[in-house]
Amino acid sequence: MVVCAQDAVTQLQSRIVEKIGPQRYNVWFKNATKFTFTEDYLRVSTPNHFIGEWIERHFSEVIAEAAHEVTGNGFTLSFTIDPDLARGLGKKQPDRQVAFVANNPERVARQKRRFGTLPSAVNLRGRMEDFVAGSSNELAVAAARHVIENPGSEYNPLFIHSGCGLGKTHLLQGICNGIAERDEGVRWRYVSGEEFTNDYVYSVKANEQDAFRSRYRDLDVLVIDDVHFLANKRATQQEFLQTLKAIETVGKQIVLSSDAHPKMIGHFSDSLVSRFVSGMVVRIDSPDVAVRTEVLRRKAERMKVHISDPVICCIAENFRANIRELEGALLKVVAQAQLTQQPVSRALAERAIRDLVRQTAPVVMLSDIESIVAIYFGLTPADLHTSRKSRTIALARGIAMYLARKHTDMSFPEIGRHMGNKNHSTVILASRRISKKLQENEMARWLTPAGQKEQNLAVIVGEIEEQFGAGRGQSPVHEAPVASQAAPIATA
């Protein structure tokens, strides 16, 4: 049963504009989101993972509050990807998103100075008991449990990396909650790389660096999600390195996550990379069928709907890339049943997910390719979607398009639409250019803050392919842990 009509969606959009302002709404929501209400869920569709994750991280509370004000009901948000929305994006919208991300630390610092606000404690939803373990993530789960039981021991720092939507954030939050449950007196802090950067910038501008250092160094456990956000930020990296040294020196625990292996993060200092790989680096792979099936069963239980095994198998068979797409597909099936007032059958499920299956690469996701390529060159996926044609962006965009054509079932027009509504001829030319350079074994040159960098293009492509090779069944990449020289802290 549908509880809200189109006018409720219109009211929801108006409330969001009131809460965040027309500028931010135009950058992140206008033509880039589609809202669908069901009985208990509000589905938020976005054209790609970058926009979806940014909205989920920064505007989830705003959307939920606005939905409650409009309907009087509480809704659980579910984020899904609908590449068809890319057609409606303005040509300059990706450019504005990049500018927003690049200037965000300074903007946040100005706002914090004006209002005198500081980071507050957060309630973390992820719990270890809710995390579905399997062969695709068993090493990461084992390392997380070890850290909960023995913080500050040999798995320090613990660095978890994977593609989009595979559970990094859930696992990091589960570590924080698990450690806090074992000992309520443990001092811990969970922030994203962006929040750490914002806080540091604010402390510099407000001349409060001592307070900043106290907040981050006088801890038992420091957990930073999406640490690759620090790429290209030299001063923040230097402060972060000193923070890591201070925490490790006294035997405390550090846990980090990223979309890529630390050695693959462009514009990270050698000192930081060396510090990261001195501990435990582990990758979460794409979920196997057992994990996918269990994720769907648990999701159905939380939604309080009965889903038969044939329907669960239908969804699990068709969505192999990540957990977020699995849950989004299940929500669409349930919504379709509610809309048509039909039982949730396999036939209904096949009809409901037909367009999603068509838009989903069977093994390798374009979003993962984009993310890994962008991180390698010290960019964001939004940079690849822009109209900018700097040497670095043009090279990264060309490699991403070449790999998307090589490793996914997407057509040239689909790749172009996904990557900032580019013309299909742009994708064809970029793919041919990269292919020709590979055949001729050419060197690639691009600019970094430290000057021009040069590397064999085949080596670059091979390293990037290795990062998303997990989707093709390759074994996880990890380094053996190095025993810490500092004494671990005792926990209750």
Q: What is the pLDDT of residues 92-107, one digit of tens each?
A: 788 888 878 776 666 6
145-174 residue pLDDT tens: 999 999 988 899 999 999 888 899 999 999
> What is the predicted pLDDT for the residue at 232?
81
Q: Write out the CATH class of domain 366-472.
A: mainly alpha
Residue 122 scores a pLDDT above 70 = no
**pLDDT tens digits, one per residue of 285-333:** 888 899 999 999 999 998 888 899 999 999 998 887 778 888 888 988 9
- Provide the pLDDT for residue 117: 60
Print burial letters for 447-480: b (CB count within 10 Å at least 16), e (below 16): eeeeeeeeeebeebbebbbebbbbbeeeebbbbe
d(CA 247, CA 77): 36
In which band, very low, low, confident or very high, does the pLDDT at 452 lie, cut at 50, 70 and 90? confident
Q: What's the pLDDT score for residue 107?
A: 63
Thinking of the domain 6-89, which architecture would CATH place it in? 2-Layer Sandwich (3.30)
Instruction: Tell me the whole-structure pTM to 2 decimals.
Output: 0.80
Beta bridge partners of 448: 451
Query: According to DSSP H, which parts of 122-233 are helical?
Result: 138-149, 168-182, 193-205, 209-217
How does pLDDT run across 13-42, given as a tens digit for each residue?
999 999 999 988 998 999 889 998 877 788
Give the number of other Cβ atoms within 10 Å of residue 84's Cβ: 13
- Under the banding of pLDDT at 50, 70 and 90, the label for residue 109 is low
pLDDT at position 2 is: 41
List the structure tokens of 45: 């569709």
pLDDT at 161: 94
- Categorize the per-residue pLDDT at 471 as very low, low, confident or very high, splitting at 50, 70 and 90: very low
Selected from 3.30.1360.70, 3.40.50.300, 3.40.640.10, 1.10.8.60, the CATH number assigned to the domain covering 289-359 reads 1.10.8.60
Sketch the domain layout of the chain as residue ranges.
6-89, 114-284, 289-359, 366-472
Of the ranges 59-73, 111-125, 300-314, which one carries the lowest mean pLDDT score? Answer: 111-125
Q: What is the mean pLDDT of the chain?
A: 84
Predicted confidence (pLDDT) at residue 69 exceeds the cutoff of 70? yes
At 483 the pLDDT is 34
Kindly state the average pLDDT of the residues 341-351.
89
Ranked by mean pLDDT, the top range of 253-262, 401-410, 444-453, 481-490 is: 253-262
Q: What number of helices (H) and strands (E) belong to the chain?
A: 21, 10
> What is the C-alpha to C-alpha distance for residues 164 and 381, in angstroms, rounded to an integer?
12
**Interval 219-278: pLDDT, tens:** 999 999 999 999 888 899 999 999 999 998 899 999 999 989 999 998 888 899 999 999
pLDDT value at residue 389? 84
Reported confidence tier of residue 468, pLDDT bands at 50, 70, 90: confident
Instruction: Quote the CATH superfamily of domain 114-284.
Output: P-loop containing nucleotide triphosphate hydrolases (3.40.50.300)
Q: Same topology for domains 114-284 and 289-359, yes or no?
A: no
Question: Is the confidence at residue 482, as pLDDT, over 80?
Answer: no
